[in-house]
Amino acid sequence: MRKIGILTSGGDCQGLNAAIRGIGKSLYTRFGRDVVLYGIRDGYRGLIEGIFQPMAVGDFSGILTLGGTILGTSRQPYKSLCRAEKTGAQVVESMKKTYARLGLDCLVILGGNGTHKTANLLSKEGLNIVTLPKTIDNDIWGTDITFGFSSAVEIATHVIDCIHTTATSHSRVFIVEIMGHKVGWLTLYAGIGGGADVILVPEMPYDTDEIVESLHRRNRSGKRFSILAVAEGAVSQDEAGLSPKELHSEQKKKKHPSVSYRLAEEIGRMTGQEIRVTVPGHIQRGGTPCPYDRVLATRFGTAAAELVAREKYGRMVAMRDNKIVSVPLEDVAGKLKKIPSGCELVSTARDIGVSFGCKI
């Protein structure tokens, strides 16, 4: 009899339930009555506090198109688990006790970067772990794509599409703020897909003068409106050299809700144009998953079940060159997949006249 736990951790996104379904259906199809599945409630918190529920075959039906996660989720900061203090050690020990209490043969974890760091920690503590990469940011090392990303791109692109009509009608500059604190994949894809004129991402610090010059060029060519797709983590060239703590301090001094509002004030002052800001926020990771994410999450889920069946633990399911593979968890944890220098997609955007707010 195999006993398998499943948990979802970190921010929710589209495709989590499709992946849960893929895991559960595949394991029950493969093992029938020789497997027991437990859903760990509310992410690592459920593992810490021992909150779980047995999951029957029927629990995995009717959830393919549901957004969010039927298991609930939470954020448990990785730093708090790594501290030498007694509290951090107790938390990890509590997780291990729940794992042992259930008699688990493996714990399947669905999550993003922080989730994978904790998963790797648990793996090193002797737990059998298999993970799946989920995030709308597409920033997990070792996989070409994560589930949730394509659905978020569709939503963010739709927002830009809708802004186009009102921007054209009123001859205004619109800033659309896209999710992405540390990487700009979502902003890059949505910006190109939505026809943004300026795209600002964290990997390419911007110069406000360059942004303004690109707007002037559009005005001179007869374009009466402009749209900026701005990642929430975009930084200026002056800010790029600051530490995270220094950056947070500087941003607090400026008293703007986000980088987009600060840019709106600066650009408005420099151009005399009317600037409007739209922040779609959490709707980018809400709602039903797109068909691509449903398929991808299902593929990832069945691949995770295969790793469980083969007892290949300490690995993350991934996609590379359009093939489902697995990679060592320790190679993934703590790494970010950023937009690389010389990215082909950035070159594509520049070839059609998109500005990235910088000369290089």
Annotation marks residue 137 as catalytic: yes
Domain that holds residue 206: 152-284
185 and 240 together in one domain: yes
Residue 221 lies in a domain: yes
Residue 340: inside a domain, yes or no?
A: no
- Domain count across the chain: 2
The pLDDT value recorded for residue 132 is 98
Domain-embedded: residue 353: no
Residue 257 lies in a domain: yes
The full length of the chain comes to 360
Which CATH number characterizes residue 109's domain?
Answer: 3.40.50.450
Same domain, 161 and 276: yes
Is there a single domain that holds both residue 38 and residue 123?
yes
Quick one: 218 and 301 in the same domain? no
Q: Please tell me the predicted confidence (pLDDT) of residue 88.
A: 60
Query: Which segments within 142-274 are labelled E, that is strand?
Result: 173-178, 198-200, 226-231
Return the pLDDT at 77.
Answer: 65
> Could you tell me the two tokens for 150?
């394509």
pLDDT attached to residue 84: 45
Residues 56, 46, 303: CA angle, nearest 5 degrees: 55
Alpha helices in 103-207, H assignment, sequence order = 113-124, 149-170, 185-194
Tokens 């600060």 label which residue? 262
Going from the C-alpha of 201 to that of each of 63, 134, 137, 174, 228, the distances in angstroms are: 34, 21, 12, 16, 11
pLDDT computed for residue 78 by the predictor: 61
In CATH, what number is assigned to the domain containing residue 205? 3.40.50.460
- Are residues 106 and 170 part of one domain? no
Tokens standing for residue 83: 């501290």
pLDDT of residue 256: 84
Q: What's the average pLDDT block by block, 10 residues per block, for the chain (360 residues)?
A: 96 96 97 96 96 96 96 77 59 95 98 96 97 97 97 98 91 95 97 98 97 94 94 92 76 82 95 93 95 98 98 98 97 96 95 91
In a domain, 355, yes or no: no
- How many CA atoms are closer than 13 Å to the CA of 69, on its beta-carbon side? 28
Residue 346 lies in a domain: no
Q: Which of 284, 317, 349 is a domain's end point?
A: 284
Extract the tokens encoding 24.
Answer: 């559960």
Catalytic residue among 12, 137, 197, 293: 137
Q: Which residues contact 311 (CB under 8 A, 6 or more apart)?
A: 106, 128
Residue that is last in its domain, among 263, 284, 305:
284
Same domain, 116 and 175: no
Task: Note if the pTM is more than 0.95.
Answer: no
Shared domain check, 137 and 9: yes
